[in-house]
Chain A
């Protein structure tokens, strides 16, 4: 061999290869690659989307455009810091001005959305991407404070999964692994992580001790959603009457009352100023009036959809005040907290036989008070009726009024705006209107003729969902009626609207569907099914609170648990869930071939006797060694032969399944 070739092999390696291998340590200032940047931006956009859907249209559109423009402008290189600062301040100022400087939950959420839209302006390094993603996770959270509907939930969860996928990409980039996964396997990997964490999450969800009272106040929405309120101005409920969304879901434990008796009693309105009926704040603190309940009792679960109000309704009349609510003297229920989330109430009601048979003087005066100088024609008519009926004949006057209304009045939702003498105009000119007009005019007429009366608002009727057999009360079922006080009987419900349009009050979705669009009838089962699913979700997830948690544990036979016992139970189940997680995480890497798996298990069983197969040993050599030490292990020899046959001459090896079975069955 020529000598010149010999030293070449022992020459030290050229210096450049070492330089190529000495990688720079990755740091948080590592620049992002295109993939990581794309994933981060997509995840942030997905987080922003559900929040934008909850914001007012123009604001949301503006923020979305701002985000797109800002991202595009800083795509190649980041904008100068001063420009970013100015832009951020400008957008924040615009958002605050758009909210008319009202600071509430909406404004806070809009600000969060604005910041998130601007954040991609500084997306250059790994650290930027991580802070963007961390920040973005607050957007679905904020969305849930505004809305808990299925769409928000779905979008929020998708966004969270995308954020995790982006984090996965960032971590891959950080570790310097050049291999890039396709989106589908990446998402699959993230979903697997989430799925493995799910048992723990669900155990925590159902067992984590809930706060019965909040630590700090619930932020109010600037714009309230329609719901029953403490006021009623005739003609003012049109929004509510046209809102077909669900207000209540009721499950009766036992028989349900007939629809004509389903009066869901809410705010009781005493004060009338000629235009508007309001509740009386004076009576709120007084203890509830005495009631003798009838024999027929209804036990039911009330699920109230969020309204941002505190008025709670109950079937007339509740026998006890549920925990977390208070009753005023007129048995009107108010909750301690705003009903901003789905809540559940367990109640028992029975129709009253005698409702406050002894009316105190102050209350009587309040129930007779009318503003001076309004509705002269009504006043005159009432006085005339009183003189004709004589004193003490209140029931006759009530009957006369109802007969008059039944004979001459009509039901309509299209009414002109009332003038100064609203009741006069309704009773003598239009003779058409809806529940607000009827109840208001009726109570004024009664008071004018000396009968204590008040307006009661709430819902009437309900629609029974055949799936799950519960009742749905919609916002459009809102209703107002009257209560008059008759000696000996106390307060008696009188519904003047029912005298005119009973079908309007006791209707159901099916009735409405058959009357209106014919196609709706065919879709009704789908609506029913959808609402049933929604209710299940409400029941298990949205409406789950401290009381419901206790109820769940009680139904599992746990009895009443203190919070320390709850924590112990949570720790126990959480620990089990953790163990399950560990098993699931590790299990994914097991041997996929069942025959090999069984073979390895067999080896492990012999390993316990100190006869495990060594890594370098062939199956035959191992068997020979085992046989030499344990002559009784002849079955192993046959098994090994079959295994080798199956593994190396599969066409002759026969059925793998029986081999697996035999391998599993074999015990040394």
Chain B
């Protein structure tokens, strides 16, 4: 009970801390948004120094007083030093490669600062994830694994950058709340039917996996693999010729939202996501047809895959009653 109240109080206190809403990066930490509080050990150390001070004053024992004051002075300096570890630090950007929901999202936080001050061992926390940020030559990067649950935009939330250096007596911390949204792809279906058959003009075309059959020779272009060079014909023609292999000639796959009508809303998204990955893996061209949206493709490649998965990820969430049809 008390624990819950404490957590509530902490949440309310954190609500008061700056920044109070997401902000556009880069942000620089200044004294208005750096907080310093003693750690538990710092409080213990403080109590120890106070007891020493009282004892030394009472007995008029000046060496003991000097010892206590030196410790207090060093502790106070460490407070300032902890503050300065963060002061002037800039969080310039955050980014992440999209991952399917459920997999941890690797959030990269890029920090910059004046190179003159050493800033080592800063702790970056986002939710439950935490990592160490060390700046070298004024720049540092940290990777945090954020847990993802659902597809769509993910708010990285408030990042807490904190340090207890140099003496572990005080913790200085500051929050950065990047406004950037990070994309989370839909979770692909784990097991599912194979890709639907191609349609259209190429539907009957010969399925030719990447093979060794030589289709024809063409002139060398920069970047061609050396072993693809046809040496004998090149020697005959006195110019470099390259064997061009038969491209896989699969028909364009059509991934159609409406064709999956019997499935539940999220299940359809999961299956389409799986098919997109599968088509990309098999090197097929595909077209994604979502309801009330222009078709994407046909095409293939990383960019196309990203466009398709992004469209799937950003489909509005299902609205309960409308089962199977797009709302």
Contact = CB atoms under 8 A, between A and B. Distances in A.
Interface of A: 2-4, 6-7, 9-10, 12-13, 15, 17-18, 21-23, 25, 28, 130-131, 134, 137-138, 140-141, 144-145, 148, 152-153, 156-157, 160, 164, 167-168, 170-172, 174-177, 179, 189-190, 193-194, 196-198, 200-202, 204-205, 208, 210-211, 214-216, 218, 340-341, 541-546, 578, 581-582, 585-586, 588-592
Contacts of B300: 6
B78 A193 contact: yes
Contact of B41 (A130, A157, A177): A130
B74 A193 contact: yes
A134 B106 contact: no
Contacts of B240: none
Nearest to A194: B74
Interface in B221-242: none
A145 B73 CA distance: 21
A96 to B, nearest CB: 22
B27 to A, nearest CB: 16
Given A21-B131, A145-B64, A171-B167, A200 B103 contact: no
A447 B166 CA distance: 74
B305 A193 contact: no
Nearest to A140: B67
B168 interface: yes
Contact of A197 (B60, B73, B104, B248): B73
B283 A200 contact: no
B62 A21 contact: no
Given A10-B306, A134-B44, A152 B63 contact: yes
B81 A193 contact: yes
Interface stretch (B122-130, B197-205, B264-272): B122-130
Interface in B147-168: 163-168
A609 B97 CA distance: 43
Interface of B: 40-41, 44-45, 48, 52, 54-78, 80-81, 84, 97, 99-100, 103-104, 106, 114, 116-117, 120-123, 125, 128-132, 134, 143-145, 163-169, 210, 245, 247-248, 280-281, 283, 300-302, 305-306
A228 B296 CA distance: 105
Given A12-B103, A176-B123, A590-B116, 17 more contacts: A3-B248, A6-B283, A10-B302, A21-B131, A22-B145, A23-B130, A134-B45, A138-B52, A144-B56, A145-B55, A164-B74, A170-B168, A193-B78, A196-B73, A201-B73, A208-B65, A582-B80
B22 to A, nearest CB: 24
A468 to B, nearest CB: 20
A171 B70 contact: no
Contacts of B125: 25
Nearest to A577: B73
B65 A7 contact: no
B164 A160 contact: no
Contact of A172 (B74, B103, B116, B165): B165
Given A12-B97, A148-B61, A3 B104 contact: no
Contacts of B58: 211, 214-216
A337 to B, nearest CB: 9
Contacts of B134: 177, 179
Contact of A542 (B62, B70, B169, B305): B62
B103 A15 contact: yes
A153 B103 CA distance: 60
Contact of B63 (A168, A216, A542, A578): A542
Contact of B132 (A23, A137, A167, A543): A23
A133 to B, nearest CB: 9
Contacts of B78: 193
Given A130-B168, A171-B167, A211-B57, A197 B74 contact: yes
B132 A7 contact: no
B49 to A, nearest CB: 9
B105 to A, nearest CB: 9
Given A205-B66, A592-B116, A7 B280 contact: yes
Contacts of B73: 194, 196-198, 200-201
B224 to A, nearest CB: 9
Contacts of A17: 106
A55 to B, nearest CB: 18
Nearest to A205: B69
A177 B168 contact: no
Given A4-B283, A25-B130, A141-B67, A581 B167 contact: no
Contacts of A164: 71, 74, 167
A3 B80 contact: no
Given A138-B48, A179-B120, A581 B80 contact: yes
